[in-house]
């Protein structure tokens, strides 16, 4: 079963994540996304009748270290090194606009 992702959907998703894309890019991505979905749909055809579900085949354990509180840069020192600060916070340029 072929499922097509149209350019309108591609442009909508791009807009949601604040990416500007051209019509040509939307057409390219439309074809690529449709192919990806076709590959995933192929998995529905695989016979898994006698396959035992496995949630962790490697028996991996959490190998992360314990959290340890360590001294860090003083707040004032940090703000002094920031390009701009305001009321005790680092000020950065607006990313998404006034929406």
The CATH architecture to which 7-45 belongs is Orthogonal Bundle (1.10)
Is the C-alpha dihedral spanning 55, 57, 61, 63 positive or negative? negative
Where are the chain's structural domains? 7-45
Residue 59 or residue 72, greater confidence: 72
pTM recorded for the entire structure: 0.54
For 17-52, the pLDDT digits (tens) are 999 999 999 999 999 999 999 999 999 899 999 988
* Residue whose pair of structure tokens reads 């909508």 in the numeric block: 12
**Helix, strand, or coil (residue 86):** strand
pLDDT at position 99 is 54
């Amino acid at each position: 079963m072929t499922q097509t992702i149209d350019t309108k959907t591609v442009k909508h998703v791009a807009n949601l994540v604040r990416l500007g894309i051209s019509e040509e890019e939307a057409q390219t991505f439309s074809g690529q996304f449709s192919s990806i979905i076709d590959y995933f749909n192929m998995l529905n055809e695989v016979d898994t009748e006698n396959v035992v579900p496995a949630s962790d085949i490697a028996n991996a354990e959490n190998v992360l270290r314990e959290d340890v509180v360590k001294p860090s840069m003083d707040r004032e020192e940090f703000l002094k090194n920031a390009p701009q600060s305001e009321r005790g916070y680092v000020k950065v340029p607006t990313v998404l606009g006034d929406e």
